[in-house]
Amino acid sequence: RKEVEQDPGPFNVPEGATVAFNCTYSNSASQSFFWYRQDCRKEPKLLMSVYSSGNEDGRFTAQLNRASQYISLLIRDSKLSDSATYLCVVNIPMNTGFQKLVFGTGTRLLVSP
């Protein structure tokens, strides 16, 4: 089983639509969770961290379900500029005591006029 799994999409939605992305992770000891955004041929950038109680940043809402090891990202009122790949990121504890950041393969979103 992959450490972080996402539906690759693409998700094709019209402007103004609401779209949700899901992500599952395999290591129950993971403590930190993030959503990153990556534009075509660019580096990933942090969109938002995901907190246990859920958190919202404008049109974006992130949720964490530890029992199901599941993370979600909801985008409301989609804009053309939201077209990008959204990466689910989880930190995984290692046997060394250190941790590593593991990225999902990403979900591609295309917002059309």
Partner 1 sequence: NAGVTQTPKFQVLKTGQSMTLQCAQDMNHEYMSWYRQDPGMGLRLIHYSVGAGITDQGEVPNGYNVSRSTTEDFPLRLLSAAPSQTSVYFCASSYSRYANTEAFFGQGTRLTVV
Structure-block tokens of residue 54: 């859920």
* CB of 19 or CB of 88, closer to partner 1: 88
* Cα–Cα distance measured from residue 12 to residue 6, given in angstroms and rounded to the nearest whole number: 16
Residue 107 near partner 1 by CB under 8 A: no
* Cα–Cα distance measured from residue 60 to residue 58, given in angstroms and rounded to the nearest whole number: 6
* CB of 64 or CB of 106, closer to partner 1: 106
| Minimum distance from residue 76 beta carbon to partner 1 (Å) | 23
Q: Which of 18, 32, 52, 112 is close enough to bind partner 1 by CB under 8 A?
A: 32
* CB of 76 or CB of 99, closer to partner 1: 99
In DSSP terms, 8 is beta-bridged to: none
Compose the 34-73 pattern: x for residues touching partner 1 by CB under 8 A, - for all others: x-x-----xxxxx--x------------------------
The DSSP annotation for 73-99 comes to EEE-S--GGG-EEEEEEEEEE-TTS-E
Of the candidates 97, 113, 94, the residue with the CA atom closest to the CA atom of residue 27: 94
For partner 1, the binding residues (CB under 8 A) are: 8, 31-32, 34, 36, 42-46, 49, 87, 89, 91, 94, 96, 98-106
